[in-house]
Structure 1
Amino acid sequence: MGMIVKICGLSTPETLGAALAAGADMVGFVHFPKSPRHVPLAAAAALAGGVAGRARKVLLTVDAGDDLLAAAIAAFEPDILQLHGHEPPARVAALRAKFGRPVMKAIGLASAADVAGIADYEAVADLLLFDALPADVTALPGGNGRAFDWALLRGRRFAKPWLIGGGLTAETVGEAIRATGASGVDVSSGVESARGVKDIGKIASFIAAARAAEKLGSLAESG
């Protein structure tokens, strides 16, 4: 499997189109009213319908109840559910079974103690996403433009595909890939011109930088 590049928090046809044209593997839609990237259900079908099989659609929710998830899944028709809240492993397993969709679990990292709990999620999720823990309890669970210490993941390998996020930009994504050996990268705030406002040029630059780092890594392995 090649490097997975995910552009998250897309909310307009123009920026979605830019992500697809630049070759994103996954495009993420946020259904969480507290987020500046929130996509209401009324707008979901038209926006998500523009993907047309060119990438995997990811629906991000935060500690959502079953009824909300059912409505959001019906509207977005996602390929993957991204759980970005405090969902425990048992909840992840239950939602995966109930809705029959692959699940990506976001795990906030700040210290070695946080790394210790990864195994419990590795057993029940289809993909893992490592992000920075919010600075405080009032912050959004993701999309805050904060990086975590990549050394926490250095030399680690997991049985499931895993992505890193948290403060990545076109300028730092290559270093992040080299430092962690991640199988994918996830960006939201790092391709914005203002909070919640995606920038077409930054999207293209980020994807190009990630692909360049992937190519260098492949050359190094073959050499």
Structure 2
Amino acid sequence: MINLPVDYIGFVFAKSRRNVSPKQAAQLIQVLRQWDTGKTPAAVGVLVNPDLNELEELLQEAALDVVQLHGQESPQFCREVKERFPVSVFKAVSIESDRSEADRLSSLDAYAGCIDGLLLDTYDPVYGGGSGKTFAWDLIPPYQRWASQQGIPLFIAGGLDSDNVSHLIGQYAPYGVDVSSGVESEPGVKDINKVTAFVERVKGK
């Protein structure tokens, strides 16, 4: 993937078949810094319900730019991460279509000023997200309005691939998209051809 025009690259530290160690991430981040695209991709750490000590140890080894939180992290925790560490904080929200819009959105207001980005993902009962399945995209606009009001970017994840991402972007124009299983040849193994095709669709090339 070296030199592909991507803006972020994720390193999964949560329980997953895509899990990497802090040491592995540190080595890969060194490679990122050598990319020759005019802009170095931001290194994003994906975690679920970490504590501050765990984050401190991780960040001492791996120079992450963003911490992406996929658990039940509170607004106060997100604020503490922002204040304590030199990273941006993205909060993932799992979309459950059987909940009312008011119920889904009511908990977001407490995160105002506590996060630097919002990511929508499909709800998964085991991992919270990362299911490789799409959610009902017609649920996106209220979250998009909320993110816009806060002045933060909105990212969309969940079952994206090179076949459907153009439709998502054309209809909803999120700030960014997050992909994993949609560019894999088998679970946990990225396919460079699929990655390239996905990036070309996103960048409109």
Q: Which residue of 2 aligns with 1:25?
A: 7
Compute the displacement of 1:185 (Å): 0.5
Segments of 5+ residues of structure 2 without an aligned counterpart are 35-39
Q: Please state how far the C-alpha of 1:175 moved relative to its aligned partner.
A: 1.1
Q: Which residue of 2 aligns with 1:5?
A: none
Using the TM superposition, give the Cα deviation of residue 205 of structure 1 relative to its aligned residue in structure 2, in angstroms: 0.6
Aligned equivalent of 2:32, options 40, 51, 61: 51
Secondary structure, in 3 states, of the residue corresponding to 2:64?
A: coil
Alignment match of 1:181 (pick from 173, 184, 190):
173
Question: What is the aligned counterpart of 1:114 among 104, 110, 119?
Answer: 104
The equivalent of 1:172 in structure 2 is 164
Correspondence for 2:199 = 207
| 3-state SS, counterpart of residue 39 of structure 1 | coil
Letter in 1 for 2:22: L
Distance across 2 between alignment mates of 1:101 and 1:36: 25
Q: 1:100 to 1:45 in 2, by over 3 A?
A: closer
Distance in 2, matches of 1:55 and 1:43, equals 17
Return the offset for 1:179.
2.7
Deviation at residue 129 of structure 1 after TM alignment: 0.7
Indicate the SS of the match to 1:29.
Answer: strand
Alignment of 1:119-134 (within 5 A): 119-134=109-124
Distance 1:86 1:153 in 2: 20
CA contact (8 A) 1:115 1:152 kept: no
Structure 1 position 85, deviation (Å): 1.0
Q: CA RMSD in A?
A: 1.7
8 Å CA contact 1:154–1:181 kept in 2: the answer is: no
One-letter code aligned to 2:131: N
1:70-149 to structure 2, matched below 5 A, reads 70-111=56-97, 112=101, 113-134=103-124, 136=125, 139-149=126-136
Distance 2:113 2:170 in 1: 26
- Alignment partners' CA distance in 2, 1:50 and 1:36: 22
How far off is 1:154 after superposition?
3.0
- Please state whether the residue corresponding to 1:64 is helix, strand or coil: coil
Q: Deviations over 1:138-174 (max 9, x none)?
A: x223221011111011374222111100110011111
Give the CA deviation at 1:181: 2.5
In the superposition, the TM-score normalised over structure 2's length comes to 0.87
Question: 2:47: which partner in 1?
Answer: 61
Residues 119, 179 of structure 1: alpha-carbon distance in 2 compared, 3 angstrom cutoff = farther
Deviation at 1:208, TM superposition (A): 0.5
Q: Deviations over 1:33-81 (max 9, x none)?
A: x211111123222112111062111111110111211111122201111
1:31 touches 1:60 (CA, 8 Å); kept in 2? yes
Contact 1:29 1:59 in 2 (8 A): yes
1:21 is paired with a residue whose SS is coil
Question: How many correspondences in the alignment?
Answer: 191
